[in-house]
């Protein structure tokens, strides 16, 4: 079982560049999430999706875009990278809302630096 797979694991971008962080899960989970974790801080929700074709903003969506064309994939797009987006990005999935039945499963993270 691969679980939640994120690529790449590390990336350095120049200011103004764009890139897509990939996230895929093989557990047939409906719910998927993108978080960022700044140094010494907790997780902040960027975007989430409750199913294919549906996405919603989280706490810190500015500067990011997402799409959910399939159940498996939930890519996160940075259009104009800014130094404030330097962070570790985590993708997560859960069968439902990650409540009593199923917790959220997290990927290993993508460490992104914007220089």
Partner 1 sequence: AQKVTQAQTEISVVEKEDVTLDCVYETRDTTYYLFWYKQPPSGELVFLIRRNSFDEQNEISGRYSWNFQKSTSSFNFTITASQVVDSAVYFCAFLMNRDDKIIFGKGTRLHILP
Selected from 34, 48, 64, 74, the binder of partner 1 by CB under 8 A is: 48
Q: Any contact of residue 61 with partner 1 (CB under 8 A)? A: no
User: Helices marked H in 21-96 — which ranges?
Assistant: none
Residues 24-43 that bind partner 1 (CB under 8 A): 31, 33, 35, 40-43
The 63-102 site mask, x for binding partner 1 (CB under 8 A), equals -------------------------x-x-x----xxxx--
The β-bridge partners of 43 are 37
| Unique residue bearing structure tokens 């691969």 | 2
β-sheet with 76-78: strand ranges across: 4-7, 19-25, 76-78, 64-66
């Amino acid at each position: 079982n691969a679980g939640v797979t994120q690529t790449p694991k590390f990336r350095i971008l120049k200011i103004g560049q764009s890139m897509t962080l990939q996230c895929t899960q093989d557990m047939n989970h409906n719910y998927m999430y993108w978080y960022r974790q700044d140094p010494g801080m907790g997780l902040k929700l960027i975007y989430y999706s409750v199913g294919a074709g549906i996405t919603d903003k989280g706490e810190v969506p500015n500067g990011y875009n997402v799409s959910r064309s399939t159940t498996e994939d939930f890519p996160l797009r940075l259009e104009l990278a800014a130094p404030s987006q330097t962070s570790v990005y985590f993708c997560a999935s859960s069968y439902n809302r990650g409540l009593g039945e199923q917790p959220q499963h997290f990927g290993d993270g993508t460490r992104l630096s914007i220089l």
